Every structure is written in structure tokens, then in C-alpha cells.
Amino acid sequence: MYFDPMLIGPTPILDTFAEAFPMRFVRLIITAVDDYWLNAALGDFTGYSASIIGCDAETGVERMLDPSETCDGRPGAAVLAFGFSSEALGKSIPGRVGQCVMTCPTTAVYNGCATDGSSETIQSIPLGKTLRYFGDDFQKSKLLGGRRYWRVPVMDGEFLVEEKLVVSKGVGGGNIILQGTCPEIALAAARRASEALAPLAGVITPFPGGVVRSGSKVGSKYKGLAASTNDAYCPTLRGRVETSLVDGAHCSYEIVIDGIDEPAVAAAMRIAMQAAAGDGVLAIGAGNYGGKLGKFHFHLHELLR
């Protein structure tokens, strides 16, 4: 494999690009009486949402919020949820909130997407407008500052939920792929990258712990399967397929990044590369499909310049 001389410390950065896709996203502000119940709601809401290859949405905690930052002065978190269309989000998000947040003691949910031009607004999807029916005609609404909220009676009082969520344009599938001399070194590098991205506003890493072990390629030998294992990065298949692993690499991991816009994804990819580089990390590259499928191309060398 050809190495360009660009380095971060001892780690070569391959002269390649990540190919990402236009997506739609909503931002929810979820609050609860304390961190215990907030984390319980977040864990359930963000479950089974790593990739829309098989999930109804890609979700993750954007960042934790101080009580001074939330609508109700309680502990909270900003959560991002991505899908390929507003319609898809309109189906998946009310269901996730209804099953995973309304059921969790003390929670409330608010729209977190600004409409001040910081992201391009598409439309809105119903949230409380749908979930209110659970109140069986005992629900009540309140209009404050031009925003409508619903109070749904539940067994510990009321579940407060905003009527709708603003949908905005986003970017899904920014990524880096790192290669290490052994699993221990590669995993430590992947964790450094994931942890460096965790506090950033505007991005999420939707896979478990922010790290992907089962990177995929488009298509399969099996009819009807949209994606299958990225064999070029599987160390056990070296010698059987055309490998993308560099000499000495015995493990690779991918960090996938969804963001609210191109600058957010670009900044996150740059930070991820800088955090992942180190001794035993033999190369950092990215996944693409030849530039034919995704609208957004993030060239690694350009990001670092």
C-alpha cells in the first residue's frame, strides 16, 4: 500500500477520503430529576440505533447538559437522532420516546433544534402531538413562547413533552479507519478517538462505545443483503482477498461520525485522527465507495492542513 509522508507523530495518514451522506436529524433535550434516571432514559432511547442499515435511526448523546442549560432547570442531555428522511424520523422517534423515555420515571422531553439559522431547517415531525393520546383524553396542552407542550398524566405525576421536533439537514457517515499492530493497541487508539469526540457539540458516534469492529462494504455475495463485512480490513482474510491492511497491522477499527453539518464532521474527524495516532498505530485511513455514492467527501490530508 502506498504511504504519503504525512504523519501525526509516528502514525502515517493515508492519502484518502471518507465518503458521507446527506441525512436528516432532530435534537431532543431529555431531562430527569437526577443523573440516575436521566442515564436510564438515555440508555434505552439510544439502544439499537448504531446504523440505519438495520436500525430505524442512528442516535447518540451529543453532550450532557448542566441544569442551568435546560428548560426546566434539571439535569439533562442533548440527543441527536439521524435518518435518511423526515418521514423515517417521524415514525421512529415518537416510538422511541414513548417506549423508552415516557416510561422512565421523572423524565421530560423538549425540542433542541434551533431555528435561528445555525442549521438548515427542513420541517418538523410530531412528538407530543402523537404521544398525547396515551393520556386517554386526560392530557392537557400549554402554549408558551409560541411553543406547545403536552402534559400527559402518568403514575408519578405528568410527562411533559414538546408537541413537535424541528428537522434539519445533517451529514452521516464521516469516518476514520485505524490500523494497529495488535488488538490491544488498536482498541486503545479507538478509545482515545471516541473519548476525544464525546464532549464535542454537533456530532455523535452512534456505534457501541463509539467504535465499529464490523465495518461494512456495499453489497454481498448473498442476494438481497445490502451490506456485508469489509473483508479488505479483516486480518483473518489476508491472503484470500485484496487487503487494505498495511504490513504489520493485525487489527483495525472504524470510528463513524454523524454531525449537524460538514464543519462539525470535519472537525471531529481531525480530532479523532489526532487522538488515535500513536506508537503501534501503523496507519489511519477512511472508508469510501469511490466517491460515487456519498455527496460529502472528507479528504484526510486536507483536514489536517
pLDDT at 122 over 80: no
Using one digit for the tens of pLDDT, what is the confidence trace for 7-55?
A: 999 999 999 999 999 999 999 999 999 999 999 999 999 999 999 999 9
d(CA 239, CA 241) in angstroms, rounded, equals: 6
Can you read off the three cell numbers belonging to residue 175? Answer: 469516518
At 289, which CATH number? 3.30.70.520
- Do 55 and 145 share a domain, yes or no? yes
Looking at residue 115, its pLDDT comes to: 59
For residue 35, tell me if it sits in a domain: yes
Taking residues 88-115, what's their average pLDDT? 95
For residue 74, tell me if it sits in a domain: yes
For residue 191, tell me if it sits in a domain: yes
Strand pairing report for 7-8 and 11-12: antiparallel
For residue 117, tell me if it sits in a domain: yes
For residue 182, tell me if it sits in a domain: yes
- Do 163 and 234 share a domain, yes or no? no
CA–CA distances in Å: residue 29 to residues 38, 150, 236: 11, 15, 43
Q: How confident is the model at residue 292 (pLDDT cuts 50, 70, 90)?
A: confident
pLDDT at 131 over 70: yes
pLDDT at 3 over 90: no
Looking at residue 269, its pLDDT comes to: 98
pLDDT above 70 as % of the chain: 95
User: How many residues comprise the chain?
Assistant: 305
- Do 149 and 279 share a domain, yes or no? no
For residue 297, tell me if it sits in a domain: yes
d(CA 244, CA 232) in angstroms, rounded, equals: 5
The domain boundary, picked from 168, 187, 209, lies at: 168
DSSP state of 102: T
Start-end of H helices in 156-182: none
Looking at residue 176, its pLDDT comes to: 98
Out of 61-65, 82-86, 188-192, 290-294, least confident range = 290-294
d(CA 234, CA 7) in angstroms, rounded, equals: 24
DSSP state of 233: G
Phi-psi region of 75 (alpha: psi -120 to 50; beta: other; left: phi over 0): beta
The domain boundary, picked from 168, 185, 209, lies at: 168
- Do 64 and 11 share a domain, yes or no? no
Phi-psi region of 239 (alpha: psi -120 to 50; beta: other; left: phi over 0): left
pLDDT at 249 over 50: yes
- Do 144 and 45 share a domain, yes or no? yes
Domain residues for 129? 24-168
For residue 2, tell me if it sits in a domain: no
- Do 264 and 246 share a domain, yes or no? yes
Can you read off the three cell numbers belonging to residue 143? Answer: 402554549
Q: Could you give the number of structural domains in the chain?
A: 2
Looking at residue 1, its pLDDT comes to: 46
CA–CA distances in Å: residue 61 to residues 82, 107, 201, 219, 221: 12, 16, 10, 30, 35
b/e sequence 2-39, b meaning 16+ C-beta within 10 Å = eeeeeebeebbbbebbbbbbebbbbbbbbbbeeeebbb
pLDDT at 117 over 60: no
Looking at residue 120, its pLDDT comes to: 59
Looking at residue 293, its pLDDT comes to: 86
Q: How confident is the model at residue 231 (pLDDT cuts 50, 70, 90)?
A: very high
